[in-house]
Chains A and B, each alone.
Chain A
């Protein structure tokens, strides 16, 4: 009898020893004369349990974790003799953290072999594209619009409207571009889906192509993600072999080809116009809008540029219908959001759920607070350009408008947790520092403002004319917010101003210190 085991090949799992565990399983099994088949999947996203080992049983998969190399012999013995093991977590699907989620986009991630197109199809893959081919462009646009899907990269622009604009544009060539330059700290959903379910991204982009009449697509992946690059390239080759890319997709008259392009370490290239410049082989300088990329995008042609998660949401919407997606969520935020819990957190990972869950539920209840066991003091939501929220704002529901109303943003859905040892002056300085390092240099508020920001916050930290300099920082933030060309300069004020507003005590010395100084 052969035992089928599942071990993740996701970069996050590899970083904590998944390869070593897989190898140890193979060796220990051979030594014991047990036949094992090890399937390398993506990650389920329960990172505190990685390396997670799952075993196939007639009752479904049973999970064990976190497994180290030294646990392997006892684990195999337990499996072979059907006896209990300390690391046994029970049925994977019944793990509460996973069971509480609504996995529409991440339904297959961690379940299937990401290198196998057959596995993808066996789990519902390409159903959306099949239906799309039978619907035709206009009906697809209606579905996407009715689903309420908004750009998951952070800006939250309605995807249906974007696609419609490109569909209506007249041009000899149009392009589909996938923004996989996931540079925000605290986010890894794009990486996970590209590594764990790459055909999903291909299916979403192919659907976009046939909807708007584009025959070529590019996936721009950041160079910090070599495993995602490899996985996407392998999937593209497999899709080409099986007629899902190239001429006459799925026997239709539509053609669509895909190419991976690798970034080169510039954060600003996550901004769509900068990304397009980079794809064209230039410095990643932000373009002024208008013209919108939908009118004049890549190589001056109408271009759909969407985030990985936006494309990845499309196959479900088409396979199950717009309503099935729009039934989830709150207000104008429809569907689900793959939220990423990160930083100093006990149970970090990928939590896909309908919009509307509160920040407090996410951090305390689902995330389990900090892994250091200390009180949570601040959480940064939405990456380096997102605001720092104190516990007082933990009732904020996860929703584009609700976060905006509290001077924050949900961005790409990353939540970074800090404990009570955080020095918010340092975090504010870092926000400016990061902007200074990554500014493309095109507009003055961002290029100069960020450097002046670092200097001024430095003065505050050193206790130099604190109240004057605080006023100066606020004024500077205002200039950056309204005077910058893109979100890098425009949103860097969010972390800075939120730190000043909600954590004022870190910036203004306590009265006793003042007296002592005098």
Chain B
């Protein structure tokens, strides 16, 4: 299931920011909410967040860039995350990651040229007893093998 995002809209962005800005320590909450709505955190939103929270732009930019989750631009239509941590490495994850990279023609951390698939590493989905594991658009898949990773890649490319 592909997530559907709204195009960036300043009024809508301001609404989202206002909705959460009264919470204590709201910066991450707001950045999450913006990304959930727009699929990424638009650069234009940073000064708006700063203003709402009485912070400098640099502070908000600093928070935005510190965390791996926040996107500078929209991801591909599908996001395939492969767990690359030790438990999945122990269960043959290295070879499967290489296989997915080869099939998609991009390395981890990149989006295919047709914008269909973003392939990302993730450091632990907590499915370490059913390793190796992956997440395709929020759906979890464990006990990956060559057949399953091929099926996931094919599904993401559709």
Contact = CB atoms under 8 A, between A and B. Distances in A.
Given A15-B141, A280-B25, A281-B25, A348 B129 contact: yes
A170 B146 CA distance: 59
Interface string B55-88: 0000100110011111000000000000001111
B122 to A, nearest CB: 6
Contacts of A343: 86-91, 128, 131
Nearest to B60: A281
B28 interface: yes
B26 interface: yes
A261 B124 contact: no
B25 A15 contact: no
Interface in A1-39: 11-12, 14-16
Among B28, B29, B69, the one with the most A-chain Cβ atoms within 10 Å of its Cβ is B28
Nearest to B70: A264
B143 interface: yes
B86 A223 contact: no
A183 B24 contact: no
B129 A279 contact: no
Contacts of A267: 123
A67 interface: no
B127 interface: yes
B130 A299 contact: no
Contacts of A15: 125, 127, 130, 133, 140-143
Contacts of B111: none
Contacts of B127: 11-12, 15, 188
B128 A281 contact: no
B62 to A, nearest CB: 5
A113 interface: no
Interface stretch (A73-81, A82-90, A411-419): A411-419
Contacts of A223: 32, 69
Among B63, B70, B130, the one with the most A-chain Cβ atoms within 10 Å of its Cβ is B130
Nearest to A371: B91
Given A264-B68, A266-B66, A434-B123, A187 B128 contact: yes
A226 B32 CA distance: 13
Among B63, B69, B86, B91, the one with the most A-chain Cβ atoms within 10 Å of its Cβ is B86
Given A282-B27, A384-B85, A384-B86, A264 B124 contact: no
Interface in A438-466: 438, 440
Contact of B140 (A14, A340, A384): A14
A281 B62 CA distance: 11
A344 B133 contact: no
B36 to A, nearest CB: 10
A419 B91 CA distance: 9
Contacts of B87: 185-186, 342-343, 414, 416
Among B66, B126, B140, B143, the one with the most A-chain Cβ atoms within 10 Å of its Cβ is B126
A48 interface: yes
A262 B32 contact: yes
Nearest to A386: B86
Interface residues of B, number: 41
Nearest to A195: B126
A187 B131 CA distance: 12
B99 to A, nearest CB: 17
B17 interface: no
B63 A281 contact: yes
Contact of B88 (A185, A283, A419): A185
B44 to A, nearest CB: 20
Contacts of B124: 183-185, 224
A380 interface: yes
Nearest to A343: B90
A106 interface: no
B67 A185 contact: no
Contacts of B105: none
B153 interface: no
Nearest to B26: A281
A50 interface: yes
Interface in A413-432: 414, 416-419, 422, 427, 430
B123 A47 contact: no
A490 interface: no
A496 B129 CA distance: 24
Sorted nearest first, the 6 A-B pairs with minimum C-beta distance are A348-B129, A185-B85, A281-B27, A15-B142, A342-B128, A343-B90
11 contacts: A12-B127, A15-B125, A15-B140, A16-B142, A185-B88, A224-B126, A262-B32, A264-B68, A264-B70, A265-B67, A283-B63
Interface of A: 11-12, 14-16, 47-48, 50, 182-188, 191, 223-226, 261-267, 278-284, 299, 340-345, 348-350, 371, 380, 384, 414, 416-419, 422, 427, 430, 434, 437-438, 440
